[in-house]
Amino acid sequence: MAKMAASMVAESGEDVFRKMFKFYKRRDPPPDLREVTDFSSGAASGGKIVPVKLDPAAVSDEEAACVGLQPIRDWRAFGLQGYPGFIFISNPFLRGSQYFWVRQCLKTYPQKPNVCNLDMHMSPSDTQDIWARSVQALRTPASVKRQPKALLERLRWVTLGYHYNWDTKTYSAKSYTPFPADLHMLSERITAACGFPGFNSEAAILNYYRSDSSLGIHVDESELDHSRPLLSLSFGQSSIFLLGGPHRRDPPTAMFMHSGDVMLMSGPSRLLYHAVPRILPAPPQRAALLEELSCASGLQTGSVLEPVSQEDWDVCSRYIQSSRVNMTVRQVLGPGQSFPEEPMSALQTGDEGRMVGCHDDENGGKRKRTCSDPVGTVET
C-alpha cells in the first residue's frame, strides 16, 4: 500500500487519496487487490496489523449473547500501525444472529418516524411501509424481468435518533425520534468492550449500497462531542474501505470489510478521512453465513434478538445477494452538552469533503446521484 501511494504521489504530487479512490473504483481494467489489508486472514501490506486487547470483564457472556455477540474473549480485534484509536473486529457475531440485524436494517429501521432518502421526493404515505411495498417484487424469481425497482432497492440512507441534516450538516434537538433500543444495546456493549463504557447511542446513519455504489471521501465531524467513538457495522456483500489521515493529501490504507465486521474510530482516528470506493462479492466463508436461514444460537433470556421467519429471510436474502448495508452509530452530545438555540451554520473548513457523504451509483457507465442532498463528495 505504501508503495502504491508513493508512486501516485510521485506521478503528480496531488491528492493521493483521490487517486487511490479512483484506482479501486475503476471497472475496466479492475484494480489489483493484492495490497488490500484483509483482517479475516491476517494479510496486510507491510505488516501493519497489530493485535488489540479488549476488556472481557466489561461485558458478560450473557450480555454479549443477548445482542447476538460471541463472548468478548473470543473476538479477533486488531489495530493498524499509524492509526491509534482505530479498532477492527472481525465478525464478532454468533452464528445465526446476523439474520436478525439484517432484517432490522431492511424491515424495521426504515419505517416511520425514521427518515430516509425516499422522503425527499415522495409523499409520506408512499414511504410509510417500504418493506410491505417491496416484498412482492423481491420475491419475484431473478429469472423474471421486472420494472420498476422496489422501494427497498431504491433505499440509499436512513437516519435514526437525531436526524442528520444533509443541507446544514448539523444535528438538532428539533429533529429527533427515539433511538432503537436494540441497536443501542448492541452499540453500548461493543463500545464497552473496546474501552468506552457509557456510550450513548444518539444518532445513526444507515447506508444501503448496491453492487455499483460508492461512498465519497469525507470526515464525520458534525457531532458536538468527538471524544466518543464512531462505530461502524456491516452486513451483506463486502467492500473496500479506505482510511486516510487528518488531511486529504495523506495516503490512505485500503482494507476489506466483510459481513459482520465491526470498526471503531476513536481518539486520533475519530476525525480521519475515509471512503468506500467499491462493493465486492462476499468471500465464500462469509457468504455461507447468510445464505440459508438457521436459528440464532440459544437465545438468552432478555435477548433483543427475535426469530426471523423464512418469509422475511427470503426477501432479505434476495436483497443482500447483491447489496451491502452499513450502520454508523454516534454519540452526538457529551456530558452536559446541549444544542445551540439556532442550528450551527455549515462548517467553513476550506477543505473539500469534510462531511458525511452520500453514495453514488453507476448506470451504464454514467454516474447518477441517488440522494437529493448536496452533501456527498463524489470522486470522478
Residue 247 assigned to a binding site = no
Cα–Cα nearest to 39, from 194, 255, 231, 244: 255
Q: What angle do CA 50, 55, 285 make, to 5 degrees?
A: 55
Q: What angle do CA 19, 21, 49 make, to 5 degrees?
A: 105
Is there a contact between 158 and 116 (Cβ–Cβ < 8 Å)? yes
Phi, psi (deg, nearest 5) at residue 370: -115, 10
Q: Give the dihedral sign, CA 110/234/371/27.
A: negative
32's CB contacts (< 8 A; 6+ apart) are none
Q: How many residues does the structure list for the chain? A: 380
Phi, psi (deg, nearest 5) at residue 267: 55, -130
Tell me which amino acid residue 256 is: F
Distance CA 220, CA 86 (A): 14
Residue 274 assigned to a binding site = yes
Residue 226 assigned to a binding site = no
Q: At what angle do helices 2-12 and 16-25 cross, to 10 degrees?
A: 120
As annotated, the binding site includes 218, 220, 274
Q: Can you say which residues are annotated as belonging to the binding site for Fe cation?
A: 218, 220, 274
